[in-house]
Amino acid sequence: MLTRSEEDHIKAVYALLQEGESAFTKDIAECLRTKASSVTDMLKRLAEKGYLKHEPYYGAKLTAKGRSLALQLVRKHRLWETFLVERLGFGWDEVHDVAEQMEHVASDKLIDKLDAYLGRPHFDPHGDPIPDRNGKLRQRKTKRLDSCKPGETVRIAAVSETTDGLLRLLDSKGLRIGTTLAVQEVHAFDGSMDVKPKSGSAFSLSKDVSHHLQVENP
């Protein structure tokens, strides 16, 4: 049985590797609001238990065992987020911290029943894919909104940054998962972009926002 802190470290390594960055000690520390020295200790312990490979001074890589555990945690986190938003009526910007606690409840049967209860969803309220029981992720071919050209019409598939501020901003502009947008113009000066939702009038999005919106062809 792993402790909560051990699970958190594995999740952090997984999350950092996901984004293409390598999982360096200081990044993990920042991610978990702890100190680099504590992370080093933990990486050694987790390496001994076989969840990851720790190359001193060159960061950490998950083993198959570690990756599988991380995917189970992601699965639990996203299922609970889905429950909180769809069943209990939380806003999508409020659920992260609570789901963070719930994902550490240990019971395979619980997660399987929750999954069934929610209708075995493939995506969470932020549009992120939910791994299945075996850790398989359903992939979609998405791109970032800031890589789109004027004239394209796309649907919002996911938000890749779940800070409260961004989620509330999107909410206030009426941008949800599934919203369809036409890209009208991209300004070279600051990378900002004029978009027009299917229903409603056009407005502008800064690059900071469009960078974090994953879109797909409608």
Partner DNA sequence: AAAATAGATTAGACCAGGCTAAACTATTGT
Partner DNA sequence: ACAATAGTTTAGCCTGGTCTAATCTATTTT
Residues at the contact surface with its own copies, assessed by CB under 8 A: 84, 87-90, 94, 97-98, 101-102, 104-107, 109-110, 113-114, 117
- Work out the number of other CB atoms within 10 angstroms of the CB of residue 133: 12
Rank residues 97 and 139 by Cβ distance to its own copies and give the closer one: 97
| C-alpha span between 137 and 135 (Å, rounded) | 6
Least Å from the CB of residue 71 to its own copies? 21
Q: What are phi and psi of 60, to 5 degrees?
A: -130, 150
39 neighbors 29 (Cβ within 8 angstroms)? yes
Could you tell me if residue 127 is left (phi over 0), alpha (psi between -120 and 50 degrees) or otherwise beta? Answer: left
Per CB under 7 A, the list member of 10, 12, 13, 42 interacting with DNA is 42
Per CB under 7 A, the list member of 10, 12, 43, 84 interacting with DNA is 43
Least Å from the CB of residue 168 to its own copies? 16
Q: Residue 11 has which token pair?
A: 């999740």
Rank residues 58 and 117 by Cβ distance to DNA and give the closer one: 58
Rank residues 64 and 110 by Cβ distance to its own copies and give the closer one: 110
Identify the H or E element spanning 143: strand 143-144
| C-alpha span between 52 and 201 (Å, rounded) | 50
Q: With binding defined as CB under 7 A, does residue 57 bind DNA?
A: yes
Rank residues 76 and 212 by Cβ distance to its own copies and give the closer one: 76
Q: With binding defined as CB under 7 A, does residue 101 bind DNA?
A: no
Rank residues 24 and 90 by Cβ distance to DNA and give the closer one: 24
CA angle 29–31–67, rounded 5-degree value = 95
Per CB under 7 A, the list member of 59, 66, 127, 129 interacting with DNA is 59
Rank residues 5 and 101 by Cβ distance to its own copies and give the closer one: 101
CA-based max dimension of the chain: 57
Per CB under 7 A, the list member of 18, 21, 48, 56 interacting with DNA is 56
Nearest to 51 by CA among 61, 40, 38, 36: 61
| Residues in Cβ contact with 110 at an 8 Å cutoff, skipping those fewer than 6 apart | none
Q: Which of residues 21-40 bind DNA (CB under 7 A)?
A: 24-27, 34-40
CA angle 86–88–94, rounded 5-degree value = 85
Per CB under 7 A, the list member of 44, 113, 133, 138 interacting with DNA is 44
Residues that bind DNA (CB under 7 A): 3, 5-6, 24-27, 34-45, 54-57, 59
